[in-house]
Structure 1
Amino acid sequence: MQQAKDDVLAAVRDIVPKLRENGLEAEQRRWLPEENLALLEKAGVFAMATPQRYGGLDLSLAEQAEVLAEIARGCPSSSWVSMVWASSAWMVTLFPEELQDDIFTRPGVRISGGFSPTGTLVPSGDGYVLNGTWGFNSGCRGADWNMMLAIVQRPDGTTDEAIALVPMDRFAIADDWVASSLTATGSSTTTATDVFVPAHHVVIPAEAEAAMAAGIELPPPPPGRGYGLYSFLFAQSVATFIGIARGALDIFLERLPGRGISQTQWTDQSQHPLTHIQLGAAASRIAAAEALCQQMYGLLQDRADRYEELTLAERAAIRGHSAYAAQQAKEAVEILYNASGASVIKRAVPLQRFHHDIQGLALHGWILLSTNLEVQGRVILGLDPQTPLL
């Protein structure tokens, strides 16, 4: 897959300036411009996680992350939406082939998702009736499918969590994404009202676990792609953080020539020792985040290639390291933003957008530093992690 990744990466690198140029328009629209989507589609971004048998590129986690980081250098929101669609496509590769055949009708299929169980699935005939509302549904405005977490409610009173794959046009999309961060992700609220879902479009994890306990052999994960659900999601999300930090550094350096330091005698900021320290601190934080990610991706790929599961300690470390890498990227952007003078607050200056986007992303429940370090610390001490998200 090296050549495929190199081709996608080269194509994305070429469009970074245009993605960055479109940033203000994207914020004003509260959704990605069609030009961004067309450029990313042409580059092959939306086919990254699709299996080769469906015409996709089947890139590894590390390869996907490299592309997502490059997108974020141009547009954080474009990277986050691309990450959501890619991670959702990867998840579908873990489901039965009958379902995959329905979903992967083209290599660049776009799948958004709502992973809070805020809906219900009630058995009906040869399927289920879905009702519910899901907030923060990133990428829903441009998606083909919505992958929702819901609660199966059976007549006998038993319940189970389930994942439902439903065409996006069966949902109502509220115009309620008005945010101060990641404004262009279109992360609106979606609502399903009495939507019929065929039984083979519903995956109930507990049933698979029961089958395994009964000795029923289930299909193995795709070769080299069985990373483990939560470890994959935590590790992949950091790519956008790293790309934002790289982009912020690019923009800072582009703006530096000819800049003085107001209210001082310094006419060239690049000659001031404080600027040197700030740049060194930011660059080192970015390098530290990159190194942690490479370590994580190497471990995950090694286990996937061997068809081995991560240990509890390794899964907890993935959570902690993901959040810590994201924190290093956020601090790098903060340093560069604070070193940029008052003019950086203008909306026409992309650095302010990179700054508020990474601030908002760092509050995401998946990547919140305190939560993830707590889980890692508990496992290090031999305590119950007190979360199933491992």
Structure 2
Amino acid sequence: MVQTRVRESVETRGRGDDAVTFDDVLAELEDRRTEFDEQRYVPKDFVERLKQVGIYRASTPAKFGGRPLPPAEFLDRIERISAVDGSTGWVASFGSALIYLAALPVETQAELYRNGPDVTFAAGLFPIQPAEATDSGFRVDGRWKFASGCMGADILGVGIPGDSSTGGKPRTALLSPDQVEIVQEWDVVGMRGTGSFDLVVRDTEVPREWTFIRGGEATVDEPLYRYPVIAYAAQVLAVVGSGVARAALDHAEQVGGGYAGVTGAPKLADRPHYRTRVASAEAELRSARAWFYDLSHEVWETVVAGDPATDEQNAHLRLASAHLAKTASDVVGDLVEISGTAPINRSHPLQRLLGDALVPKQHAFLGPAMYDSAGAVLMGLDPTTPGFQ
């Protein structure tokens, strides 16, 4: 049974450990990020370290032992991780994905968290694969892409079609890792260490109660599960880009005072255009971040007060997320442009950061179409992209 397999897969989950500090984990990450990049995934032992500092209980319902964080607090942690390593920040960001699982039946959630609140969930949702309905659930068979963090996951999800009962939204079917083949097909220039591999499932029946509607209404009544689900999913990815851009700016400011070109030209910090562009980049990133976090606090206050987030608030969250992702990518690109020939070396820090910063703004949740949908909603029209609200 799926329930038994899921229970067994989470029995060895990490527990919160107050002896391990967040700074300890960041220091270890700095030492190991090259390892993760070379093997193309964040290993399970480091995922356990993230569990120890609460990343994977930050979206678990309090009724099941979680310590759900206000979104802005969780986003700040992901941004700090991403400033050390974007790939690990991306994987850690899916600690927020447990808000999706709040749409499961309460009894299923109780089984899922039976052995503790620290659950790592990864999913390959697309392309949506057909799933034959059975008397008790769905028969799942197919291959899905981009399952970021799947190598360290306790439970995996795959995308199957919705039906008349889901309002057109797709379902996600949950499986234990031993029911899924992970195909390590992931050769990219950005976020290389995310382990965004393919998932393959062959002719496996998943009970209906172990499926949920992505973005569906939560069955748990706690403030975090009244926060806009898809908007939060966009925020956690956008803030990864912000952390990467912060690392690029820190690098540019540190080396600016000490680097001189091979031609004998003035060192970078003595060049007016370099100083000006770095200062402009600081202003752009900090401005985008301030709006992004201010909105998160505003919407959180709304849902804590017991009111639903408005369509306009959701549109602003989506817009601010897309804007932050684009700004972060532009900032890193600008810093590469003004840094002379040094960044053409494959080992140069800005090379890695340039690739990493590109990924969030290319994501479907954060691309140019979000501006169109946000504009439509703010003008009283329906959003122009599916799943916007």
TM-score w.r.t. structure 1 length?
0.85
Shift of 1:227: 0.6
1:203-229 residue CA offsets vs partner (Å, 9 max, x unmatched): 3579x88xxxxxxxx856323441122
1:236-263 residue CA offsets vs partner (Å, 9 max, x unmatched): 3222111111111222233334211342
| Superposed counterparts of 1:34-183, under 5 Å | 36-84=46-94, 86-104=95-113, 105-116=115-126, 118-151=128-161, 161-183=170-192
- Which amino acid in 1 is paired with 2:290? A
Could you tell me how far apart the structure 2 residues matched to 1:21 and 1:205 are? 36
| Superposed counterparts of 1:197-216, under 5 Å | 197-204=206-213
Shift of 1:367: 0.7
Query: Residue 384 in 1 paired to residue 375 in 2?
Result: no
| Superposed counterparts of 1:1-390, under 5 Å | 11-33=21-43, 36-84=46-94, 86-104=95-113, 105-116=115-126, 118-151=128-161, 161-204=170-213, 219=219, 221-266=221-266, 268-368=267-367, 370-389=368-387, 390=389
Structure 1 residues 15 and 350: alpha-carbon distance in aligned structure 2, compared to 1, 3 A threshold: farther
Q: Which residue of 2 aligns with 1:4?
A: none
Shift of 1:169: 2.1
Shift of 1:73: 0.8
Shift of 1:38: 4.2
1:10-43 residue CA offsets vs partner (Å, 9 max, x unmatched): 9333443442343332222111245643432333
SS of 1:176's partner is coil
Same amino acid, percent of matched pairs: 24
Contact 2:159 2:173 in 1 (8 A): yes
Could you tell me how far apart the structure 2 residues matched to 1:270 and 1:298 are? 37
- Which amino acid in 2 is paired with 1:334? G
Could you tell me how far apart the structure 2 residues matched to 1:44 and 1:143 are? 15
Q: Which residue of 2 aligns with 1:3?
A: none
Give the total of aligned pairs: 368
Q: Which residue of 1 aligns with 2:3?
A: none
Could you tell me how far apart the structure 2 residues matched to 1:181 and 1:205 are? 26
Q: Which runs of 5+ in 1 are unaligned?
A: 1-6, 210-217
TM-score w.r.t. structure 2 length?
0.85
1:28-64 residue CA offsets vs partner (Å, 9 max, x unmatched): 2111245643432333222222233433321111111
Q: Which residue of 1 aligns with 2:4?
A: none
Contact 1:88 1:147 in 2 (8 A): no
- Which amino acid in 2 is paired with 1:255? V
Contact 1:150 1:164 in 2 (8 A): yes
Structure 1 residues 310 and 160: alpha-carbon distance in aligned structure 2, compared to 1, 3 A threshold: closer
Q: Which runs of 5+ in 2 are unaligned?
A: 1-16
SS of 1:147's partner is strand
Could you tell me how far apart the structure 1 residues matched to 2:334 and 2:169 are? 46
Structure 1 residues 205 and 87: alpha-carbon distance in aligned structure 2, compared to 1, 3 A threshold: closer
Shift of 1:101: 1.6
Structure 1 residues 265 and 135: alpha-carbon distance in aligned structure 2, compared to 1, 3 A threshold: closer
Could you tell me how far apart the structure 2 residues matched to 1:17 and 1:349 are? 21
1:83-106 residue CA offsets vs partner (Å, 9 max, x unmatched): 12x122122134321121222233
- Which amino acid in 2 is paired with 1:164? A
Could you tell me how far apart the structure 2 residues matched to 1:224 and 1:237 are? 18
Higher mean alpha-carbon deviation, 290-299 vs 57-66, is at 290-299
Contact 2:43 2:152 in 1 (8 A): no
Shift of 1:200: 1.4
Structure 1 residues 282 and 262: alpha-carbon distance in aligned structure 2, compared to 1, 3 A threshold: farther
Shift of 1:194: 1.1
1:314-340 residue CA offsets vs partner (Å, 9 max, x unmatched): 322222221112111112212222233
Higher mean alpha-carbon deviation, 135-144 vs 48-57, is at 48-57
- Which amino acid in 2 is paired with 1:95? L
SS of 1:131's partner is strand
